[in-house]
Amino acid sequence: MRTTLQCKIVVAFPMPVSRDALLTQLRKGLLEYCVLALLRSGPFYGVELSARLARREVLFTNEGTLYPLLSRLRKQEWVETFWRESTSGPPRRYYQLTSEGVEALKAFTQVWGPLNADVQAVLEEQA
């Protein structure tokens, strides 16, 4: 029996890491807790929240992406909404933390500090 051994050499070119793609991945799961953290100080309407978040340019870029996130937070019952009349326009939908949202934020805060410290330590570690 004749056996043919074939050897395939695959040359892998390193994929360039897109800054946008990396940020999108890292923001996932973080932004919702940042929204909860902002809501600690009281209820906000959507535009107010997006304006606050927009101060952090790395964390938040497109205002529109806030709304699917707020919908998820409502579904999880971490946030609830109510309407309030406005003196300068139509009534506004306000978002406020629920007790479950407070607990979720507390749990996140407890793990975020040590996790952040570990990542920082690993990044600064000398080879």
Partner 1 sequence: MTSTSAGVLRHALIAAYLKDLDRALLTADPQERADTVEAVREHIEYRLGEKSDPTSAEIQAILTDLGPVERIAGSATPASQTSAPTDPGTGWLGPVALALAVVAFVLVLLSPFVALALALSVTAFTLVALRRPAARKSWTLKAAAFVATSAAIAAVVVTLGLTSVTTTVDAEPAVPVNAIEG
- Candidates 5-13, 76-84, 106-114, 116-124 — which segment interacts with partner 1 by CB under 8 A? 76-84
- Could you say which of 59, 80, 92, 102 contacts partner 1 (CB under 8 A)? 92
Give the residues across from 94 on adjacent strands.
45, 82
- Could you say which of 88, 114, 122, 125 contacts partner 1 (CB under 8 A)? 88
Cβ contacts of 38 within 8 Å, gap of 6 or more: 44, 49, 52, 53
- Among residues 18 and 126, whose Cβ is nearest to partner 1? 18
Minimal distance, residue 56 CB to partner 1, in Å: 15
* Amino acid, single-letter form, for residue 38: L
The 10 Å Cβ neighbour count of residue 79 is 24
- Among residues 64 and 114, whose Cβ is nearest to partner 1? 64
Residue 39 binds partner 1 (CB under 8 A): no
- Among residues 83 and 127, whose Cβ is nearest to partner 1? 83
In this structure, are residues 45 and 92 in contact, taking their beta carbons and an 8 Å threshold? yes
From the number of C-beta atoms within 10 Å of its C-beta (0-12, 13-18, 19+), residue 105 rates as buried
* Amino acid, single-letter form, for residue 12: A
- Among residues 41 and 99, whose Cβ is nearest to partner 1? 99
Number of residues forming the site for partner 1 (CB under 8 A): 27
Residue 65 binds partner 1 (CB under 8 A): yes
